Structure 1
Amino acid sequence: MDDGQLLRYSRHILLEEIGVEGQQRILDAKVLIVGAGGLGSPAALYLAAAGIGRITLADGDTVDLTNLQRQILHTQERIGQPKALSGQAALQGVNPEVVVEAISTRLAGAALQELVANADVVLDCCDNFATRHEVNRACVRHRKALVSGAAIRFAGQLAVFDSGRDRTPCYHCLFPEADEVEEERCATMGVFAPLTGIIGTMQAAEALKLITGSGEVVLGRLWLLDGLSMEWRSIRFGRDPECPVCAGLN
């Protein structure tokens, strides 16, 4: 690190659990964020501010007026722009040292596999089960840590999955893929604006803990937030021995 970086990240360096070594790991890290909406916005902003070396921001949608109530990466002036490009501009404004790659298409297939394989940590900030399960399969295949968040109405969820560790569950173990699952979308159900900030910021925190090796990440636990009462519940879960995605792993 140069003198400017030592000053910029001094408040991290002062933390015994992070220090110079941990901050260097952050600077060297590559993070893939799938979704540049309500969850991806605060997650990406905090990761960029923290100094993540390379952030790949993937979202196939464009900025809409209805997004601005909670998707703080975007501005009125960027309505109609691809969210990934709008997010790239915002992140580079926060920290020009961070390399931000914008992917303005829905990730799938070989492109998703390649990006997951090259990432240190993956953040699932999307809003549909099909993408969540495809991202999970790629993370299991390449043994990458996955930080998953969700927010709808006043309810938030957070969980971490890491197939690089022995006998840990994957997303499919917790939420089995099924054709009959009904999608709940913000466009029809609504969402409390600060809720996405709470969950997305926690996703950034878990990603930084994974990268620096500090603290205890929420493996094998699903955190549930009731935004109306501000009460948290934690549910423990384990690997499904018959999971079609991760059962063959050690």
Structure 2
Amino acid sequence: MAPPRKALIAVTSTHAPLYPNGKETGLFITEALHPFHVFKDAGFDVDLVSETGTYQPDWLSQQKEWLQDEDRKVWEDHSSEFRKKLDALLKPGDIKAEEYGIFFASAGHASLIDYPDAKGLQSIASEMYTNGDIISAVCHGGAIFPGIIDPSTNKSIIAGKKVTGFTTQGEEEEGVLDTIKSWHRPTIEAAAKDAGAEYVAPPGPWADFAYVDGRIVTGANPASAHSTAVRCVEAFDKL
């Protein structure tokens, strides 16, 4: 029996100073918004969830170069379906894993802080993987993977898989590597390696790049959120 045509987008519940003058990271808006549109256009019902049922938008993701006209309209319209669902986020306890066919971890640097310990989200994704569903992450969303355990191996679901995600080079270019170290969190490259996965680098830190390995679909950065979701749908339709 085919999995349900319903997608669950996970959102970081954390915020923390990252940018100049103490401006904060949080949810990188388009990394949830672009997949939301892709899934809706492909006929999926879509829900949004965070570990605590709360979120804060990332400062950079609200700037003009990152949130362009059409996206900004949807974001600023509190009656849009995306914004309504975001502002009334579900918590893991509200979710029945068997009702979904795609799990998609959106990101923002804040994901590095809460996703490694997000037991509720990890449990949902683990159950969905066991059910034969598609598990996906973009950019820093891969911080959730080490804690998503395959019960048949007791290892991360990415052990022995190839994955991509935000590059350490990109962290260096943004000048935020020291801040990440102060959070006592690994980069996405390091987290993938620690979980037994092979990290596949994009052509450049900001290039649109997605990678599929079986039922694991990953994307490299904000520019890859749309294409990663498209690859999720393609992988889902092959199930």
| TM-score normalised to structure 2 length | 0.46
TM-score (normalizing by structure 1) = 0.45
